[in-house]
Amino acid sequence: MSSKSKTMLIFLLQFLLFIIPSDQYHPLDSLTPDEFTQVRTIVTKTYPCSSNIHNLTFQYVGLEEPTKPLVLSWLNNTTSADPPRQAFVIARIDRETHELIVDLSKQSIVSDQVYNGYGYPPLTIEDQVNADKLPYAYPPFVASMAKRGLKLEEVICESSSVGWYGEETKKNDKKRIVNVLCFYLDGTVNIYMRPIEGITMTVDVEEMKIIGYEDRYIVTVPKADGTDYRESEMKPPFRPPLKGITVVQPDGPSFTVDGHIIRWAGWEFHLSFDARAGPIISLASIFDIEIQQYRQVVYKAHVSELFVPYMDPTEDWYYRTFLDAGEYGYGLSTLPLEQFRDCPANAIFMDVYFAGQDGLPVQMPNGFCIFERYAGDVMWRHTEVVLGKPVREVRQEVSLVVRNVATVGNYDYVNDWEFLQSGTIKVEVGLTGTLEVKGTKYTHTDQIEEEVYGTLLSENTIGVNHDHFLNYRIDLDVDGDANSLVKSKMQTTSVTDQRSPRKSYWKVDSQTAKTESDARIKLGLEAPANLLFVNPNKKTRLGNPIGYRLIPGAVVGPLLSDDDYSQMRAAFTKYNVWVTRYNQSEKWAGGLYAYQSHGDDTLAAWSDRNRSIENEDIVLWYTLGFHHEPYQEDFPVMPTLSGGFELRPSNFFESNPVLKVKQPKDISGLVAPH
């Protein structure tokens, strides 16, 4: 047996041993394939999709969570009854948007509301695939391709959301539409590097027909040479090869999975999946060895919205300002992870499920991977010389990572939730994939005569400037659900008397945010130095409030004007930090109906209510961002660019919680010998 086969066998055995099968009901579990099927059956009994009476599509199906108090009571065994098992469905029925709550135990629809506001539910995969097929049988498009000398069989088309730009339409005139963009293969699989410019094509998704078409100009399609990224297509010279490296754990992983509950090194949390949010971390608690008790940290955390506006205001590009979670579904964009490449050899994998447009379950294998990471980092260390002899103690940093990748069109987003033994939670996203580029007549920067809104990356190829803003909704419950935000600034203070030869020092000025408006924060030089979420009802033995601190990564804010329609729809990016009073219905920073929305139901609108947030159940909304000015190294595929933030215990424990962490049994065994 080869060494690779042996490794695979070892990990298969470890996987089977460490997964603990569980039939126990948990109220936050993702809907199962059987439950998706049940939901479809219940809905189609009321609205038979096979008849001529009703035109029914399932745009979103997810868990309708029980109320937070009910879940917490169930977890604390203070209620004997299981919370109701329900699904929330957004369906298009006879061209109206219905919000349905389906009770699986009662086998019935218990609520059916028609939504008449602005915006639509996310596009389904089928919406996009069906729209993408239309150009090939559309005579004006066929003629446009012939005029350009392009082979129709080498053309690939993809749907693009259209945004909203101030148009006022009557209810009966509103249309759910997409623009369709096309690209050219003919020598590459990297379609995004070969855009066909000059054509605007609009599809009515309900009618599934092209309702607008304009061919305005012809631009040279960028060449295929040098755009392919497949390993099999690479030609010498190559970079120097590395020797083999892998990660093995001879005794198996240190974590267990019980249904959707993951336990590792004192951490316990619930992992689920949603077609819109992707991975959801819930009920994260850490075990305090001094009091022998689990303590709450996070009730629920997930990506809430992703805003990607491109900075080209021309006719072909101005509408490319995407709200990817609300328009396409961040979870719906999940693709399978690959062992040894996406995830290390010691990773285990979990499948995820979502509902198709017909309501039937769709399986996405290997949607999550979970693994322990040891990268040679130091958890803590110190060397001291005592009586002439060195005393040295070092502890290695081993952490637990939950990973998911969402491929939204041309971009791949690598999402990591990392748990440290110290009680810290690190959240990181890595941006890779391919740029969205624009065809141009230019082959050298010396030729450029007007603004091109980006960088010339290759002949006839402009990488257009753009942003990425990811908003995270984090319902913190620091040692309980009554929390406050304390904002601290460092102030330079002068020494005015003769008590010291020093002239100055800094001190901390702390203020507790009283209302939601107090908690809108643009991070930067003038922002608070520390943002501490405390439980004001609990203190350490020394009298300090128990808390968790937000440690931001690189700070980026929007540069669009407030009256720009795209910025109005994505107003959550105006501040890096928002804190709102808990409301179970407020989940999506860009609004429940982000597609063609008007920006009237967003985080910014909810925060305007200015509710009290002191000693209340509060929610942190954190936006991390990237201003992306493309560079030639981003062509034809982009090396991963990462950013993130941390939630770090701050006076949460009485002392260093990892002081008593033992050296792993055989840390050298984590690296396989060769």
Q: List active site positions.
A: 324, 411
> What is the CB neighbour count within 10 angstroms for residue 75?
15
133 three-state secondary structure: helix
SS3 readout for 303-367: EEEEEEEECCCCCCCCCCEEEHHHHCCCCCCECCCCECCCECCCCEEEEEEEECCCCCEEEEEEE
For residues 524 and 632, what is the distance between their CA atoms, to the nearest angstrom? 29
Exposure string (b/e) for 322-351, b if CB count within 10 Å is 16 or more? bbbbbbbbbbbbbeebebeebbbbbbbbbe
Contact assessment for residue 580 and residue 602, using Cβ atoms and an 8 Å cutoff = no
Residue 488 exposed, middle or buried by CB count within 10 Å (0-12, 13-18, 19+): middle
For residues 296 and 621, what is the distance between their CA atoms, to the nearest angstrom? 19
Contact assessment for residue 301 and residue 271, using Cβ atoms and an 8 Å cutoff = no
641 three-state secondary structure: strand
Structure tokens at 458: 């290759």
Structure tokens at 224: 């295929």
Contact assessment for residue 519 and residue 485, using Cβ atoms and an 8 Å cutoff = yes
Contact assessment for residue 324 and residue 594, using Cβ atoms and an 8 Å cutoff = no
Contact assessment for residue 37 and residue 74, using Cβ atoms and an 8 Å cutoff = no
Smallest CA-to-CA distance from 226 within 457, 428, 420 is with 457
For residues 300 and 87, what is the distance between their CA atoms, to the nearest angstrom? 18
Smallest CA-to-CA distance from 401 within 429, 381, 420 is with 420
Assess whether the previous peptide bond of 237 is cis (omega < 30° from 0): yes
600 phi/psi in degrees, rounded to 5:
-95, -10
Exposure string (b/e) for 543-575, b if CB count within 10 Å is 16 or more? eebbbbbbebbeebbbebeeebbbbbbbbbbbb
| Angular region, 319: left φ>0, alpha ψ -120 to 50, beta rest | alpha
Contact assessment for residue 405 and residue 342, using Cβ atoms and an 8 Å cutoff = yes
Task: Give the position of tokens 């689990």.
Answer: 294
Instruction: State which H helix or E strand residue 70 sits in.
Output: helix 68-75
Contact assessment for residue 98 and residue 90, using Cβ atoms and an 8 Å cutoff = yes
Beta strands in 34-130 (DSSP E): 56-64, 86-93, 96-103, 108-115
Contact assessment for residue 623 and residue 469, using Cβ atoms and an 8 Å cutoff = yes
SS3 readout for 478-512: CCCCCEEEEEEEEEEEECCCCCCCCCEEEEEEEEE
State the DSSP code for 524. Answer: S
Across-strand partners of 619? Answer: 580
Structure tokens at 507: 């001190």
Q: Position 128: which residue type?
A: Q
